[in-house]
Chains A and B, each alone.
Chain A
């Protein structure tokens, strides 16, 4: 079952919009339309009941420098009714585009990002300011003519005064960094004080779990207006990826959502495998699924501990970390590294499962359900916990579609949006699990869903363990595929493998021309990779659709009229990881 728009509908679309161009790569369907008709087309897709692409997934821009027109806008939409997906592309004439924020509120930040990174203006956008970089920054870094090392123009004389400069290529010039005035200007552009005080919450604050900068315009303790300054952890992964081979990008995906590194790994690797047409062996798929679910439990445990800590339940943190530590040890035992394991490879996994790994995982999942019961005893029926979490940050079904909320946020509103189920990758099609859904959509629902998801993950891991027991000596990486790096053993033993290894490492995986979008169900929502390949060994454009980014976007809207104490509970229930929102 494909989850892209089917041929019949595409034909019908072509009939309504005759100037439409349709591209197809594998099963990824993208349609191209000119800028003039773009808005009408998007409205049609959204409103027409036969299509009803009501859910906003992503918006981005691809820079085709030096050809003209230069920029191509890319919308990715989802139809919750038909469970189908479509990519809408449009060449941007000049440097401005009509805004899509009146159709989907979720486009707000995505368009700001496009402005920040590419310098595309959006007519009708309510507040088109930079999102990651500071006000006054003169360049647009994701443009192809922006050098990767940055434009070094700030002279730093203090560095020059040093004697014995250690490096020969020492350069006293530096890329610009924001000054305090710049930051003040940025802050002023985001929020103007209308009420009693503006409370800065961040960039470094114990409640934000990372470097986000919240600003609350408050009347007493009631938040009247809120805005978020992102970008303190922006590392330009999308830019860096344009200069790396597909394999070299894998470690960067770890560092985005460092709490659930393996899930990001798997999603990226799946996207690349789809682009290259690599089919990993069965065992690798099951290992991936098992590790993903272990990682999901790991991530939810961290969430539970820190959220409870934020709400004052200090002991919960230690209890969850006790289990998390065991999981970390399991992951370390299998992948070799605890946090950012980079365990996945294109075409399989890095190592085979070590001896005894299955037994330890089995031991863990036998013991874990009783621990979850402990957590539930402490919190689920706790009156204070309920009072703090109920009625906080209620999201409706419409919000989910408007903002492109995914993951637990979507499911708390009762929308059964789970990528593992809509578009199963790896072994998810073969495992049996349930998707817990919320009814009200508040923080308490999200708490219940996460707890239930941990139990479901245990169920999935059980099935994986059963299957993996029977695959003891199977292959774990498809090295016979020309795109897959050979194992170390093979490299040493055969000259062909050595040459292949050399070629792949130096020139990269020469991917065919095309574009793919593939997403995975991360603990923090839908993590998607949109890869444009121009037939080189490295991605021409790698767009990362971050679940946390879009989930966080609903925060200012949800917190309006609540108190600071609710902001903690709400932020906890959204559970963003700044590494992923900023990328």
Chain B
């Protein structure tokens, strides 16, 4: 009976998470468009609903009802699989992200996370890596030159930054002494307990890595529109196309921002000024700030060349993250 209850609970929660994420990502597009609009001194979406509040729904309807063209010479299996492979793993990372501590409503204990694994972070990294296959498959299956180059570029970039990302995360992990994201949050106490004060190098490396993983502007070589038309998703259309930016630019950025917030900014911790809701408010506020930071970078900077990006990954970011591990280990050793 208990197992059934757990299964139903997890299923319901997963559903809520997935649907919630879908809606959230739709509105993240609106946030991005509004943000970009104001950066560029224009109002952004304005006419669908109050200040464009219904714009994401209109967009979704448009993308869903568009003609779905599959070019004649594509590898169909991979072509279809690619958009799913890009999308599903990213959303699966959500499974290990805790949004707060368990709380009780009407005598029912609710855990605002799907599972609290003791290898949560590793699982998140693993899912993140799988989503790369989506991009590479899309490039390969399209049987076209621009997507091919875009996909390979992305692969080259990601190989470098996955390594740097993994090593950079080791610093906070060593301080927390656990892979569980909940325990990492628990290990950060008070304002000055946040790991950002002790792990600034790791934080910088992770910022770069997130930009590279999600393909936001200084690192958006895989779809550099001036060079590769639209990069790896040139041959896609309709919702199959829509899934790529949704997965990369919105859900990916959101999820990785959430991980960064958990690792460095104490997750949902903060002064309890919003009553019982304050963990959630703080968490989403912090994630929102991170997300906005990436938007800000995206809409300001030019783009690196692909060899310069990999150069930064291997020559700067990887040594930095390794150095960070050594320093952290050294300090932990001295402090006992």
Whole-angstrom CA separation of A221 from B39 in the bound complex: 33
Q: Does B41 sit at the interface, judged by CB under 8 A?
A: yes
Select A388's contact among B145, B217, B300, B302, beta carbons within 8 Å: B302
Q: Give the residues from 118 to 173 in chain A that come closer than 8 angstroms, CB to CB, to chain B.
A: none
Residues of A within 8 A of B149 (CB): 199, 221, 564
Residues of A within 8 A of B108 (CB): none
Q: Does A240 sit at the interface, judged by CB under 8 A?
A: no
How near does chain A come to B221, taking the closest CB pair, in angstroms?
Answer: 7
Contact A206 B225 (CB under 8 A): yes
Residues of A within 8 A of B307 (CB): 221, 563
In this complex, what residue of A is CB-closest to B42?
A318
Contact A311 B229 (CB under 8 A): no
Q: Does B52 sit at the interface, judged by CB under 8 A?
A: no
Residues of B within 8 A of A563 (CB): 305-307
Q: Does B103 sit at the interface, judged by CB under 8 A?
A: no
Q: Give the residues from 338 to 387 in chain A that come closer than 8 angstroms, CB to CB, to chain B.
A: 378-379, 382, 384-385, 387
Whole-angstrom CA separation of A309 from B226 in the bound complex: 8
Given contacts A312-B217, A312-B218, contact A565 B227 (CB under 8 A): yes
In this complex, what residue of A is CB-closest to B311?
A387
Select B40's contact among A311, A312, A315, beta carbons within 8 Å: A315
In this complex, what residue of A is CB-closest to B308?
A387
Q: Give the residues from 68 to 102 in chain B that come closer than 8 angstroms, CB to CB, to chain A.
A: none
Whole-angstrom CA separation of A446 from B224 in the bound complex: 23
Whole-angstrom CA separation of A474 from B227 in the bound complex: 52
Contact A312 B302 (CB under 8 A): yes
Mostly helix, strand, loop or mixed at chain A's interface?
helix
Whole-angstrom CA separation of A563 from B153 in the bound complex: 12
Residues of A within 8 A of B225 (CB): 206-207
Contact A564 B227 (CB under 8 A): yes
Q: Give the residues from 164 to 214 in chain A that come closer than 8 angstroms, CB to CB, to chain B.
A: 197, 199-200, 205-207
Q: Does B248 sit at the interface, judged by CB under 8 A?
A: no
Given contacts A310-B226, A387-B304, A387-B308, contact A315 B145 (CB under 8 A): no
Interface membership of chain A positions 309-335, coded 1 if the CB is closer than 8 angstroms to chain B and 0 otherwise: 111111100110010000000000000
In this complex, what residue of A is CB-closest to B148?
A197
Residues of B within 8 A of A206 (CB): 225-226, 229
Contact B217 A314 (CB under 8 A): yes
Contact B229 A205 (CB under 8 A): yes
Whole-angstrom CA separation of A318 from B227 in the bound complex: 20
Residues of A within 8 A of B198 (CB): none
How near does chain B come to A288, taking the closest CB pair, in angstroms?
Answer: 33
The interface on chain B, measured as residues whose beta carbon lies within 8 A of the other chain's beta carbons, has a size of 30
Q: Does A501 sit at the interface, judged by CB under 8 A?
A: no
How near does chain A come to B119, taking the closest CB pair, in angstroms?
Answer: 37
Whole-angstrom CA separation of A425 from B41 in the bound complex: 40
Whole-angstrom CA separation of A509 from B222 in the bound complex: 57
Whole-angstrom CA separation of A315 from B40 in the bound complex: 6
Whole-angstrom CA separation of A567 from B226 in the bound complex: 10
Q: Does A566 sit at the interface, judged by CB under 8 A?
A: yes
Whole-angstrom CA separation of A356 from B305 in the bound complex: 48
Q: Does B284 sit at the interface, judged by CB under 8 A?
A: no
Chain A interface size, under 10 / 10 to 19 / 20 to 34 / 35 or more: 20 to 34
Select A567's contact among B40, B227, B301, beta carbons within 8 Å: B227
In this complex, what residue of A is CB-closest to B298?
A314
Given contacts A387-B304, A563-B307, contact A312 B41 (CB under 8 A): no
Whole-angstrom CA separation of A199 from B301 in the bound complex: 27
Select B220's contact among A199, A312, A382, beta carbons within 8 Å: A312
Whole-angstrom CA separation of A567 from B188 in the bound complex: 48
Select A315's contact among B218, B220, B221, B300, beta carbons within 8 Å: B300
Mostly helix, strand, loop or mixed at chain B's interface?
helix
Residues of A within 8 A of B145 (CB): 197, 199-200
Q: Does B299 sit at the interface, judged by CB under 8 A?
A: yes
In this complex, what residue of A is CB-closest to B153?
A221
Q: Does A568 sit at the interface, judged by CB under 8 A?
A: yes
Whole-angstrom CA separation of A197 from B143 in the bound complex: 13
Select A387's contact among B226, B228, B305, B306, beta carbons within 8 Å: B305
Q: Does A292 sit at the interface, judged by CB under 8 A?
A: no
How near does chain B come to A196, taking the closest CB pair, in angstroms?
Answer: 10
Contact A313 B301 (CB under 8 A): yes
Q: Does A308 sit at the interface, judged by CB under 8 A?
A: yes
Residues of A within 8 A of B308 (CB): 387
Select B41's contact among A200, A322, A378, beta carbons within 8 Å: A322
How near does chain B come to A130, taking the closest CB pair, in angstroms?
Answer: 26
Interface membership of chain A positions 552-574, coded 1 if the CB is closer than 8 angstroms to chain B and 0 otherwise: 00000000000111111000000
Q: Does B303 sit at the interface, judged by CB under 8 A?
A: yes
Whole-angstrom CA separation of A564 from B152 in the bound complex: 14
Residues of B within 8 A of A568 (CB): 224, 226-227
Given contacts A388-B305, A563-B305, A565-B305, contact A315 B299 (CB under 8 A): yes
Q: Give the residues from 379 to 406 in chain A that come closer than 8 angstroms, CB to CB, to chain B.
A: 379, 382, 384-385, 387-388
Whole-angstrom CA separation of A278 from B299 in the bound complex: 52
Residues of A within 8 A of B226 (CB): 206-207, 309-312, 568
Whole-angstrom CA separation of A205 from B226 in the bound complex: 8
Whole-angstrom CA separation of A382 from B298 in the bound complex: 14
Contact B227 A384 (CB under 8 A): no
Given contacts A197-B145, A318-B40, A318-B42, contact A385 B302 (CB under 8 A): yes
Whole-angstrom CA separation of A207 from B224 in the bound complex: 10
Contact B221 A378 (CB under 8 A): no
Residues of A within 8 A of B301 (CB): 312-313, 382, 384
Contact B302 A308 (CB under 8 A): yes
Residues of B within 8 A of A221 (CB): 149, 153, 306-307
Interface membership of chain B positions 135-159, coded 1 if the CB is closer than 8 angstroms to chain A and 0 otherwise: 0000000000110010001000000
- Known A565-B305, A568-B227; further 18 A-B contacts with Cβ < 8 A: A207-B225, A221-B306, A221-B307, A309-B226, A310-B226, A311-B226, A312-B226, A312-B301, A313-B301, A314-B298, A314-B299, A315-B299, A384-B301, A384-B302, A384-B304, A387-B305, A388-B305, A565-B224
Q: List 19 A-B contacts (CB under 8 A).
A: A206-B225, A206-B229, A308-B302, A312-B218, A312-B226, A313-B301, A314-B40, A318-B42, A382-B301, A384-B218, A384-B301, A385-B302, A387-B304, A388-B304, A564-B149, A565-B221, A565-B227, A565-B305, A566-B305
Q: Report A's interface with B, CB cutoff 8 A.
A: 197, 199-200, 205-207, 221, 308-315, 318-319, 322, 378-379, 382, 384-385, 387-388, 563-568
